[in-house]
């Protein structure tokens, strides 16, 4: 339903949409552009809409006019309308061919006009009549012989795009370095904000478009060992909000002024645990192929390097998602305060070092991810921080797959494994829940080479009756509509068949998470850290 933010009431003669998997944005105050389930033949195999229609106020929904259509094998389609402070507007139609590849079109009165950009790119903002584009692939535009490297942020003149969308002339705003990569790009009324990770340390820059068409930048000051996210910007205002986190620094909201290039505290959470005895250090392991893999260790200051410290290691390693410093009161209260060590590894497959770091772990290259994680564990043991007797690992979703792989490939390296809402049957995942959405990440069992690799790493298929495994904690939810409970159930059933001990917890509610409400989430977290306490501390 349509809601008036000023009056705090629902609008009369408003837009009301039936429940569906859907997305909507404004074309103008009396027109919506919508992607939803329009009936048979309008949803992808992944369960998302691929037909976009324009719906005018007062018009029956069934009379909405179709303006764009993808295909059933896409992941999904949608639309987004951008504005800037100078009165420019652009409605972009987005055909998401798979998890990483997009085709963009400009919605015009004449229909959809394709914008020829690299498939691995995102349009993130509109500023001063310039479309802001984030590139996840190298790009040599048709009108140029100069290659723009992946990980760059560029601008495109909107009027030029309208005039000739196939002959684009980008202006580079940000270029990656060997250690610094863009994370977010968002516009205020007059400036562009870009957050980056520099060796997994958060940074923020303000960019300004000059009269000569060139971009200049200034750095905003933020502390070390923190992560910075853009919470909110507004095309009509130069004020913005950032969120800052650190392992031992409570989450804080910062209010910024893009004109003055300044930040000031707006609000911060009170400390949720006693961190006075702890410290954060960044270390580096060397993976099997020689790649250097950084990781963060949160530990007591007076740690003994005798291999007896109870340690929980985690990572994600997929979908170009970066694992960055984050204030977690649960870890602090239930683990750090009790003298435990907490480690986060920045393994390949993530986005800590740009698109190439992610691509190094795609499909049949995923063994790099699992080797990186094992290398971090071995480095922790080498440094005397912990030992297999006192080392536990935890991961959820794609991280749950990581846990399953590490359990089956290195059963002697861990004494506790928490496998949360996981993928585990990698030969069957495409046909379970939303699994078809992730073929671009994992590969497909229908491709012989990819099937062979998936079989070699699939935890469900790699369980062996003659191997002694650590006793894992397997957690799932009945109503997980993303990964589903089937992976966890099948894995547990096979362990039972092989007479291997395990703990299994399945709650009904909660979706793809730890619970439906705070009480359920608290119970799940308590379960996890009770498990680790008994496995690693006792």
Instruction: Please tell me the distance from the alpha carbon of residue 83 to that of residue 422, in angstroms, as a whole number.
Output: 40
CA angle 256/262/263 to nearest 5° reads 50
Neighbours of 40 (CB within 10 A): 6
Catalytic residue among 46, 155, 397, 458: 397
Q: Is the dihedral of CA 406, 407, 410, 415 positive or negative?
A: positive
What is the spatial distance between Cα 472 and Cα 403, in angstroms, rounded to a whole number? 10
User: What's 462's DSSP letter?
Assistant: H
Name the burial class of residue 154, with classes exposed (0-12), middle (13-18) and buried (19+) by CB atoms within 10 angstroms of its CB. Answer: buried
Measured between alpha carbons, how far is residue 421 from residues 128, 352, 477, 507 in Å?
Answer: 44, 23, 7, 11
Q: Among candidates 124, 195, 181, 194, which has minimal Cα distance to 151? A: 181
- CA dist 42 and 22 (Å) reads 11
- Token pair of 326 as six digits: 């984050």
Q: Which residue has the tokens 């750090």?
A: 336
In angstroms, the CA 18 to CA 394 distance is 39
Q: Count the neighbouring beta carbons within 10 Å of the beta carbon of residue 267.
A: 10
Place of tokens 């971009």: 215
512 catalytic? Reply is: yes
User: Catalytic residue numbers?
Assistant: 397, 512
């Amino acid at each position: 339903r349509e809601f008036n933010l000023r009056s705090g009431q629902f609008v009369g003669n408003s837009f009301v949409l039936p429940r569906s998997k859907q997305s909507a944005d404004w074309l103008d105050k009396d027109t919506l552009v919508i992607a939803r389930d329009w009936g048979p033949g309008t949803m992808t195999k992944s369960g998302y809409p691929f037909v976009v229609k324009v719906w005018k106020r007062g018009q029956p929904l069934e009379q909405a006019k179709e303006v764009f259509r993808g295909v059933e094998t896409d992941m999904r389609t949608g639309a987004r309308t951008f504005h800037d402070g100078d009165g420019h507007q652009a409605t972009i139609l987005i055909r998401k061919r798979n998890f990483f590849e997009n085709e963009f079109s400009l919605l015009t009165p004449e229909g959809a006009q394709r914008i020829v950009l690299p498939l691995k790119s995102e349009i993130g903002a509109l500023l001063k009549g310039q479309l802001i584009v984030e590139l996840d692939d190298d790009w040599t535009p048709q009108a140029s012989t100069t290659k723009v490297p992946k990980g760059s942020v560029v601008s495109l003149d909107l009027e030029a795009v309208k005039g000739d969308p196939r002959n684009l002339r980008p202006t580079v705003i940000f270029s990656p370095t060997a250690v610094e990569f863009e994370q977010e790009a968002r516009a205020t009324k007059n400036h562009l904000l870009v957050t980056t990770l520099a060796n997994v340390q958060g940074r923020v820059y303000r960019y300004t478009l000059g009269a000569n068409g060139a971009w200049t930048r200034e750095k905003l000051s933020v502390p070390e060992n923190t992560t910075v996210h853009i919470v909110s910007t507004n095309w009509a205002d130069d004020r913005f909000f950032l969120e800052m986190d650190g392992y031992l620094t409570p989450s804080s909201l910062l209010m910024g002024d893009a004109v003055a290039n300044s930040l000031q505290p707006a609000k911060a959470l009170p400390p949720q645990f006693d961190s006075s005895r702890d410290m954060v250090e960044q270390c580096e392991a060397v993976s099997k192929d020689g790649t250097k893999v950084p990781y963060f260790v949160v530990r007591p200051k007076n740690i003994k390097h005798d291999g007896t410290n109870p340690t929980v290691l985690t990572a994600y390693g997929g979908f170009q998602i970066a694992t960055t410093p984050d204030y977690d009161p649960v870890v602090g209260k239930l683990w750090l305060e009790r003298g435990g060590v907490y480690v986060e590894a920045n393994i390949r497959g993530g986005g800590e070092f740009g698109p190439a770091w992610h691509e190094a772990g795609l499909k049949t290259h995923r063994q790099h991810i699992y080797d990186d994680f094992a290398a971090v564990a071995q480095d922790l043991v080498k440094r005397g921080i912990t030992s297999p007797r006192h080392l536990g690992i935890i991961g959820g979703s794609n991280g749950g797959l990581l846990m399953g792989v590490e359990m089956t490939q290195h059963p002697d390296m861990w004494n506790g494994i928490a496998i949360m809402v996981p993928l585990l049957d990698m030969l069957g995942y495409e046909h379970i829940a939303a699994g078809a959405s992730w073929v671009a990440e994992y590969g497909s069992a229908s491709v012989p080479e990819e099937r062979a690799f998936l079989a070699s790493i699939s935890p469900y298929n790699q369980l062996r009756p003659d191997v002694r495994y650590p006793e894992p904690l397997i957690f799932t939810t009945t109503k997980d509509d993303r990964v589903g409970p089937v992976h966890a159930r099948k894995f547990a059933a096979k362990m039972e068949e092989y007479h291997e001990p395990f703990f299994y917890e399945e709650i009904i509610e909660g979706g793809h998470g730890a619970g439906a409400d705070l009480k359920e989430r608290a119970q799940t977290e308590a379960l996890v850290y009770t498990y680790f306490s008994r496995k690693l501390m006792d």
